[in-house]
Structure 1
Amino acid sequence: MHAIVMTGATRGIGRAAALEMLRADPDLHLVSLSRSSMSGDGVRQPNSIDQRITTIDTDLADIGRIRAAVDEISRRLDGGTLPPLMGFVGNAGLQFVDALHETVDGLESTFAVNVVANHLLLRGLLDHLSAPARIVITVSDTHFGDLRHNLGMVPAPRWSSPSVLSRPGAFDEPDTVRAGRRAYSTSKLAAIHLVHEWSRRLPDGIDILAYNPSFVPGTGLTRAAGRRDRLVSRWLLPALTLSPTVDRISTAGRKLADVVLGRTPAASGAYVDRTRVTASSDESYDPDRERALWDFLEDLVPPRAAAPQ
């Protein structure tokens, strides 16, 4: 048996991916990190699969609760109640109708969940990962910032210092939906930067990948949006699944599972667009930004052990 820790496994693409991984790999034990209030939407099934799922109460917008979850996973791994850890899937993501939502730690919520939480979980779990292991972070092609990739719905990312991006009000007219969506695309660009930097630092045998599901209607990502946007997402956008460039939730989940399980081959640091390795945006390749983001995150949340060099 072996374990994979996963965020965002309670709904949408993540839930579909989790169930596919458990079906395809009978030796897999899934550790799902989610808020207890969302347990009704979880991955649990009324059959033997249920015995291979452990749910740990976690709030990805709260640094203290993330660390508590890491401590709990570590205790179970060290105590042998969880099998060896062979992977991590950072699939959780948030998007808001403004750029003003603030966490208990004073961080802008989009950046906190989409970037900080992934880094903190990886730092905490790294010493427990057993090679060969695969880390997958779900990103978004909205980071390209062009019509082809965002359907005109999401503004292009706008990079600035991580110390600015991590705080509420980082974008023009921060109380608008446009600012909230720009915070989302920028956070996904930051997540790709983070994948690149981690890939340079991870030990041999532990790979990290960025997975882009492309556009998938009905995932619940817009659940914090206004009434008009929710109606468009619910009734109009699902019709786009007839297009070969758009996937259903079940299809996108299967493709994510393929990446996590290694059925989609890719070298560490790669950007996987649904089923194929390709280049992310030109802007996403910037070693100076990537190092600056790493340094900011390390200073924001001092590690308990020495950082990989």
Structure 2
Amino acid sequence: MQHTIVMTGASRGIGRVAAEHILRRSPDVHLLVVARESAGASLAAELAAGGRTVSHVAADLGSLGSVRSAAAEIRDRLERGDLPPLRGLVGNAGMQYTNALTEGPDGLESTFTVNVLANHLLVRLLQDRFAAPARIVITASDTHFGDFRHNMGMVPGPVWTSPDVLARPGAFPRPGGTGAGRTAYSTSKLAAIYLVHEYARRLPAGIDAVAYNPGLVPGTGLARNAGPLTRFAMRRVLPVMTLTPFATSPGTAGRCLADVVLGTTKAPTGSYVDRDRVARSSEESYDPQRERQLWDAAERFTAAHVL
């Protein structure tokens, strides 16, 4: 049966690989990619090669107003029947900055906006348009564990505090440095898992929410805002690690993401999928009080943009 999957972060890296897999393995899918306007049009045209059904909606995920406009367009297209029933949302877009001071148009720190609030606003604005059974997949990261085993010492672990602080520039010590930017990233990925747990509690039956961890994936565009040495290492040095159990190639990570989206990897709502299997996330990631506090804060930060 024809159905729609909305996807962010499909333009490069594991998202691009996952999009190709989804379209190849599920010919009934209408894949709707959310991306910046010029990039989205070319991406949709490339993915549609061979007769696949792909369209795009323009959005800057660093702007909650832009996310709202994109969601409104998706809702309108669903209501008009221009899109088949909505059965999937893939929040794969992610950003890591070289500091914790980057501020978006909403006055909020950009890592938190893109990695947490943009996904939340999309979920909330589209939740009454999902046709069960449906699945929401949010890309997380094993950097949220904060230990050497999971991040090889390259990313500091999360530093949790009030979401009202985390959402503002300068939430971490020495906010102008790379370490603070990476801490903002790992903390945002912990926040994503907290929200997945809340979605599992709050969304209607038949709408599942799952966190997906691709592992350490060298060679993607995540570090595109990093310094030249880090970018060189991500592109030229760390890819060798994909020959070991410590890293995942973009091809493998993208295929595993597609498996989660399409349900090939069985995962109950609220679960954490580590590449190709359901696993436990960090002990810190199971905290109902933090989850409720983050939900309440995310609702406040996005309230002005709810339709």
* TM-score, normalization by structure 2: 0.97
Distance 1:193 1:172 in 2: 23
The one of 47, 50, 55 equivalent to 1:48 is: 50
Q: Equivalent residue of 2:180, what SS?
A: helix
Paired AA for residue 250 in structure 1: G
Deviation, 1:39, is 3.8
Q: Equivalent residue of 1:42, what SS?
A: helix
- Residue 212 (structure 2) pairs with residue 193 (structure 1): no
- Report Cα offsets for 1:213-270 as digits up to 9, x if no partner: 0011111100000011111111110111111332211111000000000000011000
What stretches of structure 1 move > 4 A for 4+ residues in a row? none
Give the equivalent residue in structure 2 for 1:16.
Answer: 17
Paired AA for residue 122 in structure 1: V
Distance 1:268 1:286 in 2: 17
Residue segments in structure 1 that go unaligned for 5+ positions in a row: none
CA RMSD of aligned residues (A): 1.3
Distance 2:170 2:38 in 1: 28
C-alpha contact (below 8 Å) 2:116/2:191 kept by paired residues: yes
- Report Cα offsets for 1:104-140 as digits up to 9, x if no partner: 0001000000000010000000010000001100000
C-alpha contact (below 8 Å) 2:47/2:54 kept by paired residues: no
* TM-score, normalization by structure 1: 0.96
Q: Equivalent residue of 2:189, what SS?
A: helix
Distance 2:263 2:85 in 1: 17
Cα 1:41/1:155, change in 2 over 3 Å: farther
Cα 1:304/1:64, change in 2 over 3 Å: closer
Give the equivalent residue in structure 1 for 2:220.
Answer: 219
Give the equivalent residue in structure 1 for 2:135.
Answer: 134
Match runs of 1:114-263 below 5 Å = 114-263=115-264
Cα 1:148/1:41, change in 2 over 3 Å: farther
Residue segments in structure 2 that go unaligned for 5+ positions in a row: none
Give the equivalent residue in structure 1 for 2:92.
Answer: 91
Paired AA for residue 90 in structure 1: G
Paired AA for residue 245 in structure 1: F
C-alpha contact (below 8 Å) 2:85/2:131 kept by paired residues: yes
Distance 1:14 1:48 in 2: 19
Deviation, 1:85, is 0.2
C-alpha contact (below 8 Å) 1:15/1:42 kept by paired residues: no
Deviation, 1:37, is 3.8
- Residue 15 (structure 2) pairs with residue 7 (structure 1): no
Q: Equivalent residue of 2:211, what SS?
A: strand
Q: Equivalent residue of 2:239, what SS?
A: helix
Cα 1:192/1:267, change in 2 over 3 Å: same
Q: Equivalent residue of 2:11, what SS?
A: coil
Give the equivalent residue in structure 2 for 1:74.
Answer: 75
Q: Equivalent residue of 1:48, what SS?
A: coil
Distance 1:67 1:46 in 2: 25
Paired AA for residue 12 in structure 1: G
Paired AA for residue 143 in structure 2: T
C-alpha contact (below 8 Å) 2:40/2:57 kept by paired residues: no
Q: Equivalent residue of 1:230, what SS?
A: helix
Deviation, 1:48, is 2.9
Aligned-pair identity in percent equals: 58
C-alpha contact (below 8 Å) 1:62/1:104 kept by paired residues: yes
C-alpha contact (below 8 Å) 1:22/1:49 kept by paired residues: no
- Report Cα offsets for 1:35-78 as digits up to 9, x if no partner: 0243477252463344x111111011111111110110011000
Distance 1:94 1:41 in 2: 21
Cα 1:87/1:228, change in 2 over 3 Å: same
Give the equivalent residue in structure 1 for 2:64.
Answer: 63
C-alpha contact (below 8 Å) 2:41/2:56 kept by paired residues: no
- Report Cα offsets for 1:192-214 as digits up to 9, x if no partner: 00000111001111100000000
Give the equivalent residue in structure 2 for 1:104.
Answer: 105
Distance 1:147 1:40 in 2: 40
Distance 2:282 2:198 in 1: 16
C-alpha contact (below 8 Å) 1:17/1:257 kept by paired residues: yes
C-alpha contact (below 8 Å) 1:11/1:41 kept by paired residues: no
Distance 2:209 2:164 in 1: 25
Q: Equivalent residue of 1:254, what SS?
A: helix
Distance 2:208 2:279 in 1: 17
